[in-house]
């Protein structure tokens, strides 16, 4: 393996640049642009493991399944997670392969359909909080709520459906992922946080109705692989405190102590920025040297220290 290893997490929402037009063609454009920036990292000597979100895509497929239930069988949430790992992984594989070849770099990019183990008694199953699907008006959300959905207002951006989001405790395919990276493959893994699985009373793995936060899963895999850097790519260039308020302040850097203080003060919205800060804090407090939060167009500038929000030990 050549160069330092970075885990790069791409947000599912950042693959849909126009929420009013979430068509696949637009997602392709966003994926191709993001892969140009990742290819620049590889050209600059970094090795990377790429992860991605899938919240909007899972929500769309789940709704499509519900609407077609009178014609065909519905699709369980764990299989939808597997579907999106394959589909988004394919888009990333193809786009990153093309971007690398344009730079004269011959590397094999592949996706590992990844299972992430959670605990069956995780309290999150009783408190759904992970947004999936597109944004809705409150009127639309209340209508779906009457059909049995759990809905929440999502950080001032609109209303969304939510499902359980248990804490990831183990990456089932970690040894295979590590072996691939050591042998110079560019790996895409834990898409959407991984397919959530639990051990039943016989010790067998079984899928469960949940969606794992991809940032927490990326932090876990970055810890397992002893990554030199965790990058969480999202829809904003920098993290802000007092977000959307007159005294909003963008942050260049946070120490672990400062990040914990801001979290305790409620500066980061659950289901939005909070999981990203928690993931970054967990990575750094477990020995990771540096975490960066920024948007895809600014990856190179953030690596150079010119933008983004850096989370450092102290």
Report whether pLDDT(1) > 80: no
Q: What is the 3-state secondary structure (H, E, C) of 14-77?
A: HHCCCCCCCCHHHHHHHHHHHHHHHHHHHHCCCEEEEEECCHHHHHHHHHHHHHCCCCCCCCCH
pLDDT range class, residue 208, cuts 50, 70, 90:
very high
Average pLDDT over residues 200-221: 94
pTM of the model: 0.89
pLDDT range class, residue 15, cuts 50, 70, 90:
confident
Distance CA 259, CA 237 (A): 17
Residue-wise pLDDT for 227-266, tens only, equals 999 999 988 999 999 988 999 999 999 999 999 999 999 9
Report whether pLDDT(83) > 80: yes
Residues 196 and 76: beta-carbon distance below 8 Å: no
Residue-wise pLDDT for 25-62, tens only, equals 888 988 999 999 999 999 999 999 999 998 888 888 88
Residue 277, by phi and psi: left (phi above 0), alpha (psi -120 to 50) or beta? alpha
Could you tell me which of 87, 104, 95 has the C-alpha nearest to residue 37? Answer: 95
pLDDT of residue 67: 83
Q: Which positions are catalytic?
A: 12-13, 130, 214, 276
Higher pLDDT, 198 or 128: 198
pLDDT of residue 14: 67
Report whether pLDDT(109) > 80: yes
Residue-wise pLDDT for 94-108, tens only, equals 999 999 999 999 999
Could you tell me which of 32, 131, 37, 48 has the C-alpha nearest to residue 90? Answer: 32
Report whether pLDDT(2) > 60: no
Residue-wise pLDDT for 146-197, tens only, equals 888 888 888 778 888 888 999 999 999 999 999 999 999 999 999 999 999 9
Q: Tell which CATH classification among 3.40.50.10320, 3.40.1160.10, 2.40.70.10, 3.40.50.11540 matches the domain 5-309.
A: 3.40.1160.10
* For helices 77-102 and 24-43, angle between their N-to-C axes, nearest 10 degrees: 50
Q: Which uninterrupted H or E stretch holds 13?
A: none
pLDDT range class, residue 276, cuts 50, 70, 90:
very high
């Amino acid at each position: 393996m050549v160069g330092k290893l970075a885990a790069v997490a791409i947000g599912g929402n950042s693959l849909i640049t126009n929420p009013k037009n979430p068509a696949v063609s637009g997602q392709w454009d966003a994926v191709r642009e993001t892969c140009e920036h990742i290819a620049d990292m590889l050209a600059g000597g970094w090795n990377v493991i790429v992860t991605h979100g899938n919240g909007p895509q899972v929500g769309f497929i789940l709704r499509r399944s519900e609407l077609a239930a009178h014609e065909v069988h519905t699709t369980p949430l764990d299989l939808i997670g597997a579907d999106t790992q394959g589909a988004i992984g394919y888009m990333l594989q193809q786009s990153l392969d093309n971007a690398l070849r344009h730079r004269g770099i011959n590397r094999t990019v592949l996706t590992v359909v990844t299972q992430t183990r959670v605990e069956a008694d995780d309290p999150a199953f009783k408190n759904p909080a992970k947004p999936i699907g597109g944004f809705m008006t409150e009127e639309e959300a209340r209508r779906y709520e009457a059909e049995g959905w759990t809905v929440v207002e999502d950080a001032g951006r609109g209303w969304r459906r939510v499902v359980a989001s248990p804490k990831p405790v183990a990456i089932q395919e970690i040894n295979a992922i590590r072996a691939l990276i050591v042998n110079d493959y560019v790996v895409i893994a834990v898409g959407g946080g991984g397919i959530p699985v639990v051990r039943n009373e016989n010790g067998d793995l079984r899928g469960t109705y949940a969606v794992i936060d991809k940032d927490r899963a990326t932090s876990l895999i970055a810890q397992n692989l002893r990554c030199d850097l965790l990058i969480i790519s999202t829809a904003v260039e920098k993290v802000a405190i007092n977000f959307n308020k007159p005294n909003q302040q963008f942050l260049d850097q946070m120490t672990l102590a400062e990040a914990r203080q801001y979290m305790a003060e409620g500066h980061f919205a659950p289901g939005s920025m909070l999981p990203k800060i928690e993931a970054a804090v967990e990575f750094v407090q477990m020995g990771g040297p540096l975490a960066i939060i920024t948007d895809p167009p600014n990856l190179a500038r953030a690596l150079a220290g010119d933008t983004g929000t850096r989370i450092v030990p102290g």
